[in-house]
Amino acid sequence: MNYFPIFVEIKERPVLISGGGAMAVAKLRLLMKTSASLVVFAVEAEPQITSWAYEGRLVLFHRPVFAADLKGAALLYITDEAADHHQHIAAMARVNGIPVNIVDNLEGSTFITPAIVDRDPVTIAIGTEGAAPVLARAIKRDLEERLPVHLGLLAKAGKIFRPLAKSLLSGRKHREFWIEYYDDTGPGTIEANGADGLPAALYALLARHVSAETAPGHVDLVGAGPGDPDLLTLKARKALDRADVVIHDQLVAPEILELARREAIIIAAGKKGFGTSTPQEKINALMVAHARAGKHVVRLKSGDPAVFGRLDEEIEALEAAAIDWRIIPGITAASAAIAQIGQSFTCRGRNSSIRFLTGHDVLGFAEQDWRTLARAKEVAAIYMGKKSARFLQGRLLMNNADPNTPITLVENASRAQTRIIATTLAELPGAVDGLQGPTIMLLGLAPRQGAQDADRHAPMELAL
Ligand code: SAH
């Protein structure tokens, strides 16, 4: 990030605009939404600017901007860079610590104006560091459609109530009050009674939260999906958004942790086959301790928490401590992997059941019902199978599996560095060599011819 977004206070402060052409008009339209004092310097100005000056919405000087004008300015916009003396003025502004923006000149500017979604006092600024203004505008359009127009009214009413709410509620209760207001009570009131109903609704809501008992802590056992944040469920997102504590597996992608509430405590509790790991008892103890302290704990597990995630042990620990819990399912790695190779787990006439297997368990390489797995047309997703590739191959061949049985390896399913390797049972041990990331083996399936990665942006190697 080469540009850090901040909001600059410009209330009643001078914002200077050099130039009086179309560019200046465009900037002024934006700046007139603010409470800044606008001062335009233009030897010649568009009629629109002149009429704004007549209306008293800005001050217009029919001359170039001089160094002395910069005193006390909050910002300087140069919209007529071609004029000779602007290099000098821009340099003066920089020396005096006044942020300067030269329209269409990133190098000469010390700040850039983002695309703005305006729901005053809620303002969303979208920037691309000059890389893709068209993209910024597309994002703005999308947000404009999504965010209700009454958002600003909700926030204005909320702002008036903040001191009172803060004096009566604290910590989690305070947060829950505001969540309920912005999620339900506020929008519902505006719809039913208009903005005038907001103060009464806020008082009633506040009274209810003040008298409510302190909510006990609880644990959400949440599936984080295979890696791509877009594959997170809405429920998982909401849980992350409200979490006080997030205890996550080593496989949970950093982009997903980014979605946790900013104040949440993030605890890495890695469990890696054959590697360093946090003992299960320690993870259980962490969940219990934080929930007992009244916290909303999110136990974030990769994929689906119910697939090779030691979910039962965690639930048992929570039950034993009489702590409230619920499961929020996620997309398991096998689902992401099969989507990437364009295949279906089940297929009429081919297989009417599928199996999820693990390559190793607490006893080492995991034994399976090899006889049935070795039959033609069987389909299975094998988790944690890299290390046991040779063992799996041996067991299946011993049970008369066809050495040409297709197997597809999907490394880092749904992540940017994903790889798909199509191989056969005969070639399996060699094919897993060099795989670094988490990998799913799809037994009995080859990638569909011409299958494309659903996201298209992910680089792929198809080693056939
Ligand atoms: N609960 C998880 C599985 C945890 S076991 C789920 O439902 O996906 C860990 C194993 O899952 C890894 O060894 C690997 O085999 C698989 N895995 C997890 N994320 C993966 C990914 N993005 N791509 C491929 N395999 C993955």
CA 349 / ligand 1 centre spacing (Å): 29
pLDDT of residue 363: 80
CA 309 / ligand 1 centre spacing (Å): 10
Helices (H) and strands (E) in the chain, counts: 16, 19
Are domains 14-113 and 334-454 of this chain identical in fold? no
Residue 379 burial (10 A CB sphere; 0-12, 13-18, 19+): buried
Best residue among 280, 384, 386 to mutate for probing ligand 1, ranked by most atoms within 8 Å of CB = 384
Please list the pLDDT of the chain residue by residue as tens digits (464 residues): 999 999 999 999 999 999 999 999 999 999 999 999 999 999 999 999 999 999 999 999 999 999 899 999 999 999 987 767 788 889 999 999 999 999 988 888 999 999 999 999 999 999 999 889 899 999 999 999 888 888 999 999 999 999 999 998 888 788 889 998 998 889 889 888 888 999 999 999 999 888 877 667 899 999 999 999 999 999 999 999 989 999 999 999 999 999 998 889 999 997 655 556 788 999 999 999 999 988 999 999 999 999 999 999 999 999 999 999 999 999 999 999 999 999 999 999 999 999 999 998 878 888 999 999 999 999 999 999 999 999 999 999 999 999 999 999 999 999 999 999 999 999 999 999 989 999 999 999 999 986 554 334 344 444 33
Express the helix, strand and coil content of the chain in percent, nearest 5 each. Answer: 35, 20, 45
Best residue among 222, 232, 251, 407 to mutate for probing ligand 1, ranked by most atoms within 8 Å of CB = 251
Domain boundaries, given as residue ranges, for the chain:
14-113, 151-211, 218-331, 334-454
Please give the number of the atom of ligand 1 that sits closest to the Cα of 412. 23
pLDDT of residue 453: 45
Residue of 249, 295, 304, 386 with catalytic role: 249
CATH superfamily of 218-331: Tetrapyrrole methylase, N-terminal domain (3.40.1010.10)
CA 302 / ligand 1 centre spacing (Å): 7
* Rama region for 351: left / alpha / beta (φ>0; ψ in -120 to 50; rest): beta
Q: How far apart are CA 174 and CA 209, in angstroms?
A: 8
27 is catalytic: no
CA 306 / ligand 1 centre spacing (Å): 12
Best residue among 440, 443, 455 to mutate for probing ligand 1, ranked by most atoms within 8 Å of CB = 440
Residue of 235, 271, 387, 453 with catalytic role: 271
pLDDT of residue 272: 58
What is the per-residue DSSP string for 147-184? S-TTHHHHHHHHHHHHHHHHHH--HHHHHHHHHHIIII
CA angle 288, 292, 298 (to 5 degrees): 55
Please give the number of the atom of ligand 1 that sits closest to the Cα of 301. 1
Best residue among 439, 441, 443, 455 to mutate for probing ligand 1, ranked by most atoms within 8 Å of CB = 439
CA 344 / ligand 1 centre spacing (Å): 18
| Residues whose beta carbon lies within 6 Å of some atom of ligand 1 | 226-227, 251, 301-304, 307-309, 332-333, 337, 383-384, 410, 412-415, 438-440
249 is catalytic: yes
CA 288 / ligand 1 centre spacing (Å): 26
The answer to pTM > 0.85 is no
pLDDT of residue 215: 64
Bridge-based pairing state of the strands 380-383 and 355-358: parallel
CA 195 / ligand 1 centre spacing (Å): 49
Q: How far apart are CA 403 and CA 392, in angstroms?
A: 12
Q: Report domain 334-454's class.
A: alpha beta
pLDDT of residue 184: 83
Q: Are 379 and 343 in contact (CB under 8 A)?
A: no
Please give the number of the atom of ligand 1 that sits closest to the Cα of 415. 22
Q: How far apart are CA 105 and CA 18, in angstroms?
A: 14
Which tokens is 22 given? 């179309």
Sheet holding 355-358, edge to edge: 355-358, 380-383, 439-443, 406-411, 419-424
For ligand 1, atom 4: residue with the closest CA = 308
Bridge-based pairing state of the strands 360-361 and 364-365: antiparallel
**Helical pair 151-168 and 198-211, crossing angle rounded to 10 deg:** 30
pLDDT of residue 214: 65
The CATH code of the domain at 14-113 is 3.40.50.720
